[in-house]
Structure 1
Amino acid sequence: MSVGSNADKLLLDPAHVLIKYVLLMLAALATGLLFGFAVVPGVPRPGLADRLARAVEATAELLAAAACVVHGEKTAPERTPRELTAAARSRQGPAAAHT
């Protein structure tokens, strides 16, 4: 939608913009496929069950923190951002946890 509105606002040829958009999306897909499955040698990857358990635990903690905020309970101001960061890192995998 933003591509169409920008093309209209800047008076660009819609066909040219659409072709360029599709080509950029294909380039993004190719880049994602090329680097998305890259494995860093020497870094053991946890099993699926461990990753799923960590993700479920982090999501439960995040939802509990959100429920506290919704119910008006007092929470430490730095608590929720830390839980958001932990949930995001657990979703990204072990490499993000060490940064």
Structure 2
Amino acid sequence: MNRLVEACVNPAIVVQVLPLDAGAHAAMGGPFTILDYADPVLDPTVVYLGNDTSTLLLEKEMQVERYWLMFDHLRAKALDPDESGDFLARVADDYPK
């Protein structure tokens, strides 16, 4: 937990927490990772979906756009970065040492 709190003050990292009391959200179907690269010609953006038994890489523009939209909805519903840092600091204080 302390590492997450430390990450909150790193200007190169953005941490946002989506608390349970936020309720239903766009990514209820499961976790995903958007792999976005500096040179989209050499390395196009892909979405990685994985579970216990399989993985899937989505590369079609429409599929990738859907996950970017989902990500934007999650960021909008989550605590802002400052609130997230405060939230994680409170949780870290309560976390067994």
TM-score (norm 2): 0.28
TM-score (norm 1): 0.28
Q: Which of structures 1 and 2 has the bigger CA Rg?
A: 1
Whose strand fraction is larger, Structure 1's or Structure 2's? 2
